[in-house]
Structure 1
Amino acid sequence: MNHHEWLAESFEANRPRLEAVAYRMLGSAAEAQDAVQESWLRLAASNSEGIDNLAGWLTTVVGRVCLDHLRSRKSRREQPIADAGPQTAELPSPAGNPESEAMLADSVGQALLVVLETLDPAERLAFVLHDMFAVPFDDIARIVDRSPAAARKLASRARHRVQGTSEPLTVDQSRQRQIVEAFLEAARGGDFDALVAVLDPDVVARSNGGSVGPIVRGVMQVAGGAMAFAPLATGSQLVLADGKVAALAGSAKLPTRVMTFTIGDDGRISILDAITDPDLLATMDLVVIGD
């Protein structure tokens, strides 16, 4: 297999993800396919041997292509056109395949697409890439030509608008809420055994991401320390912090402390982070969870 054949095969392996990104960005299967094909043309014309992370490189390129398209569409006040754009033919394309387009549409949902259409192009890109495809803000920042903090703010603004028109919690967030509430209830009641039950055996507790104070490791040590957390647990409220269930002291506009939780596949808390640094708190997207 020569390099061009390997490149084409690697591109095809990444195509489903690229189509998913582009469809959520553009809302049209045909336009999404055009963006993906454009990424292939750019890859074929590049010095691909110098690309360390092909999947990341392609996602970045598709993001830039979609961002340019959205900005152009916005300036002309156009809506997505299903058959817009020429078809490139250097690689097989599923564009125009009803089954493929239906699968894309079903995977997103029309309601979400309608909301995404209301976002600014840069907000839409930041939200789609970070919240839907876990692309780091450092990478998003390079696409939108802004700082990582500014990219985080873009995603935050978009998230607020999306959450305002959707169900309060996803299935995963509902599961997170149950676990966090169990932790808070055990801390409030001083129930050591209940704390141990909800914590991973190798749980880690830290302050401000480990930048301040000692890092506490192990279920017995963390559970013991959580007993002193009772006053804060009593006065805290549940919020979504950057999309994850957390405990807030203060208010969403003026937070004094946010406790975030990393939860493993087994449903137990593996990391507790107490965020008190004002600069870190200022970057967090906090949305109070209703009953």
Structure 2
Amino acid sequence: MYYLIITIFLLFFLWISTVLDHPSRNFLDFRDYPGKILNHPKPFDGRFPPPPPPHRNEPMPFGFIGSPPTQYGHTTLVYLIGVVSSLLFAISGRLQSVEKEKVKSELAFLKAQINPHFLFNTLNSIYALALKKDNKTADAVVQLSELMRYIMTNSNDEVIELSKEINYINNFISLQKTRLGNTVNVDYNVTGNTFGKVITPLILISFIENAFKYGVNPDQTSEICVKIDIDDEMLNLYVSNKKTFSVQSDSGIGLHNTIERLKLVYPNKHHLKIEDSLEKYIVNLSVKIR
């Protein structure tokens, strides 16, 4: 169907070219016009005669008098240029559409890996509280329900209000404090105004979760620092934890996925610096938020 339409339009343009380019319908030929044009003398009044016709035995000079082959060739060439240009625009648009769908698929895949990872860790924490018959178990369940409600309702959004993301982090850290008690010193502070600002959901939590996952050991003094500073269009996240000998496996799936999401969602709009020393693990992240 596509090639049939292309052929029909080509024949149509060739017919139009034949009609418009016929010498008797040359709209730009003013040699026989009796009056003046724009206050100028009659064109071709003898001072600028038209080129002489070719000799009967000489070949027709190219460009002075059109002939069907030349006429059709020019029309076909212009038409093909238009067709190729339209194809290039269509292919370019298709490639951009495919790239957007690819980014969406990658983000959905990364989120699908992050969410169960976080859920399993938190359920294990509440399970530990239940085994000890801690009175804080009920509060932990409520906090977990708020966290999961946020994940279920907002994680698939491209952006979310920054205030909701900060509230999500507040609930997460409160839940961790409830689980860990006095075994860890948590220095958590948020400064700046969140009003009117948005951010990609779940883009910060993996760095904070990583500190609690690998920076806490009941047999050692654990220290975790989380600072969030919001300055105009920039959000600065600082997370540090004292390294401990954790018994958890070092898979790093959540952290790796978050780094990949940052590259996809905030290309050239974020700066991430990770310091991994013998004693501390420090994350400095700056994100340009809208």
Q: Which category describes the TM-score, using the shorter chain as reference length?
A: under 0.3
Larger Rg: 2
Please give the TM-score of this superposition, normalised by the length of structure 2. Answer: 0.23
Please give the TM-score of this superposition, normalised by the length of structure 1. Answer: 0.23
Of Structure 1 and Structure 2, which has the larger fraction of its residues in helix? 1
